[in-house]
With several copies, the nearest count.
Chain A
Amino acid sequence: MKTITVRYFAMFREHAGVDEESLTLDVSTAGDVFEHTKSRHGSSEPSGHCKVAINDEMADWSSPIADGDTVLLFPPVAGG
């Protein structure tokens, strides 16, 4: 089990109802965190359209998660 901070942005924040939360989860990758929060908050956006960052660095869904990490979940971006 790892204790991580998950930060939500835009639509994900609206779904979660909070900016961030601390979770203790049995996860190995960023993708695992995403799947967990999806079921937790009822989101259904496919991960392929979303992005993830770990401790303020862009990451992949296969990136490993360590205890104490902050995972940032980004719904589909739309700058400009």
Chain B
Amino acid sequence: MIRMTTNPIDPDALRREMFDPAAGGYCAFEGWVRNENEGHTVRQLEYEAYDPLAITEGELILAEAADRFPHLQAHCVHRTGLLEIGDCAVWVGVASAHRDEAFRACRYIIDQLKHRLPIWKKEHYSDGNSGWVNCERCAEHAHG
């Protein structure tokens, strides 16, 4: 299951939902807002998403992961809105009988999410400028 939210992500509560008596391994990944990107000091991050398609595409990715790396539980939550340094922007958790599938499925999910979900990230820098991440031409435009 994938969920989009504007509220803070609670990794501990999400972790507890992953419990399964047949699970021997649990792997989680969190993306945190960090204070630097490509030489710029980052102050805040703004995430925008188109939720309906983010959810459709996210469910597709989770189904692909279940097919490639069979596991017991996988879940993902992505936050949108204005985030501060240290905030959790995305959480992925996978519980599996053995650790190999837990690691591989978790990695597959976060890698695919980053490339396929309609989510955009605007960095606000300490110098007052801002820029959309991964936009080649718009960076010039925005830093103007």
Contact = CB atoms under 8 A, between A and B. Distances in A.
Q: State whether these chains interact.
A: yes
Interface of A: 9-11, 14-15, 43-46, 49, 51, 53, 56, 58, 72, 74-80
B142 A78 contact: no
Contact of A79 (B56, B90, B99, B138): B90
Given A78-B114, A80-B114, A45 B31 contact: no
B135 A45 contact: yes
A75 B133 CA distance: 10
Contacts of B57: 58
B122 A10 contact: yes
Interface of B: 31, 47-50, 52-54, 56-57, 78, 89-90, 99, 110, 113-122, 132-138, 141-142
Given A9-B50, A76-B134, 15 more contacts: A10-B48, A11-B132, A14-B142, A75-B138, A76-B135, A76-B136, A77-B118, A77-B120, A77-B134, A78-B120, A78-B133, A78-B134, A79-B47, A79-B119, A80-B90
Describe A's contact surface by its main secondary structure: loop
Contacts of B132: 10-11, 75-76, 78
Contacts of A51: 118
Contacts of A76: 120, 132, 134-136
Contacts of B110: 80
A80 B141 CA distance: 23
Contacts of B116: 77
A43 B121 contact: no
23 contacts: A9-B50, A9-B118, A9-B120, A11-B120, A11-B132, A11-B138, A11-B142, A45-B137, A45-B138, A49-B135, A53-B50, A56-B52, A58-B53, A72-B50, A74-B50, A75-B132, A75-B135, A75-B138, A76-B134, A77-B120, A79-B49, A79-B113, A80-B114
